Amino acid sequence: MRIHPVAPHEIGPAETAVWQALRAGDPALRTPFLSPAWTRIVARHRPDVRVAVFEDATGRPLGFFPVQRPSRWSAMPVGAPLCDYQGLIGAADLDFDPVALARALGVGRIDFTHLIPAQAALAKAVRARDHSWVATLDGCDDAYVAAKRATGSQSLKKIEQKARRWVRETGLELSTDCHSRDPELFERLLWLKADQCRRTGQIDPLGQRWSAGVVRDTFASDDPDLRGALFVLRHGGRPVAYNYALASGDVMHDWLMAHEAINDRFSPGLILVREALRCAAASGVREMDFGPGPYQHKAALATGQRPIARGFVGRPGLSSAVRGAFYGVRDLCERAAPAPIAALPGKVMRRLDVWRGLSSA
């Protein structure tokens, strides 16, 4: 088998059709972040994007592995840290040497933060495990509600109670804009998100020109392979909360959310996500993926979880040794250190990965 890197614009219609067929055949690959359109959008704003193409002896494509290469030392999944899923677009049992993949891409190692762990050839890359939150809709809100109730969850009931109390106490109705195309509302979401990061001391994922450009391009996209979906909650006609998702086929990935600094006690963001699920189901969406993270709305509204993993693959050398040492310290602390210290190496690694991804274009 041959592995060779190409620029995204070198992926022609025939290769794109194979890419899409591979995604269609595996539910784990249907996320918008593993679509050809996502790689093309990121490549508009990052000159370091490459796609490793796996071919058999006849030149037939067997798989694709898109990355960005911030340096000769390491590669990261394409669009990192904006992407919530990473992995090989190919058969789960495709056998290849991960070291050969790093060599073909001309880097010392390839880092993962949200790897699909079911891919056999990358099993040795896994150093830590996590999960994403997923809501199964099957194109029907009634089915979603029934699935939540079957688990004994009271989340939907509590959200509805908050919405009714908000209306009752203010005398103003709530309404939702589904799939809004209003650029002013979209820009308001981006401003609120940046302001939230400034107030909380977090790294703003949209604070770089390339990352902001990627997000804006997804909103402008009309490609069925990757399109943006903006949901807006209005209170008395006034926009108060914003939720932005990416869609690919019948799969939607909840991505960005923010709300105005009013009426926090009514949880406007949570109410909007619930309404976004209702809108998504009505438009035929089969699944809403909330991505990873210990956030209230994800646990409250998900019907299940999907495993993901962190890790790296690489050639023997300094680059791999440094990354391995980081994971060694992290593993040791998580096993033996007191709780406040145990989580510190993981937090530092995540922050460094975000910074590397954002600052290297």
Helix (H) or strand (E) holding 138: none
CA distance 322 to 333: 17
Q: Is-cis flag, bond preceding 13, omega within 30?
A: no
CA quadruple 245, 247, 253, 258: dihedral, nearest 10? 0
**Helices H, strands E: what count in the chain?**
12, 14
Lowest mean pLDDT among 4-13, 75-84, 153-162, 332-341: 332-341
Could you tell me which of 278, 204, 187 has the C-alpha nearest to residue 239? 187
- Percent of residues, the chain, with pLDDT higher than 90: 71
Could you tell me which of 230, 211, 210 has the C-alpha nearest to residue 220? 230
Mean pLDDT for 168-196 is 96
Note the residue count of the chain. 361
Mean pLDDT for 34-56 is 97
pLDDT tens-digit profile of 242-262? 999 999 999 999 999 999 987
pLDDT tens-digit profile of 289-328? 999 988 888 999 999 999 999 999 999 988 888 888 888 8
- What pLDDT shows up at residue 31? 95
Cα–Cα distances in angstroms (integers) from residue 282 to residues 138, 144, 229, 232, in the given order: 10, 11, 13, 16
- Percent of residues, the chain, with pLDDT higher than 70: 99
Identify the structural domains of the chain with CATH numbers, from first to last.
Answer: 2-131+307-359 (3.40.630), 134-306 (3.40.630.30)
Contact, 305 vs 133, CB < 8 A? yes
Could you tell me which of 74, 54, 49 has the C-alpha nearest to residue 64? 54
- What pLDDT shows up at residue 165? 96
Query: Does residue 360 register a pLDDT over 70?
Result: no
Greatest Cα pair distance in the chain: 70
Per-range mean pLDDT, top range of 24-28, 125-129, 146-150, 227-231: 227-231
Contact, 134 vs 290, CB < 8 A? yes
Mean pLDDT for 76-93 is 92
What's the one-letter identity of residue 332? L
The CB density around residue 317, as the number of other CB atoms within 10 Å, is 12
CA quadruple 218, 220, 226, 232: dihedral, nearest 10? 80
Cα–Cα distances in angstroms (integers) from residue 292 to residues 83, 175, 181, 276, 289, in the given order: 11, 28, 27, 18, 9
pLDDT tens-digit profile of 51-66? 999 999 999 999 999 9
Mean pLDDT for 196-210 is 91
- What pLDDT shows up at residue 230? 98
Query: Does residue 284 register a pLDDT over 80?
Result: yes
Query: Does residue 345 register a pLDDT over 90?
Result: no
Number of Cα atoms under 13 Å in the Cβ half of residue 186: 19
Lowest mean pLDDT among 43-57, 219-233, 269-283, 288-302: 288-302
- What pLDDT shows up at residue 263? 77
pLDDT tens-digit profile of 118-145? 788 888 889 888 999 999 998 899 999 9
Q: Give 361's pLDDT tier (boundaries 50, 70, 90).
A: low
The residue whose two tokens read 């996590």 is 130
- What pLDDT shows up at residue 116? 87
Query: Residue 291: which region, alpha, beta or left (left: phi > 0; alpha: psi -120 to 50)?
Result: left
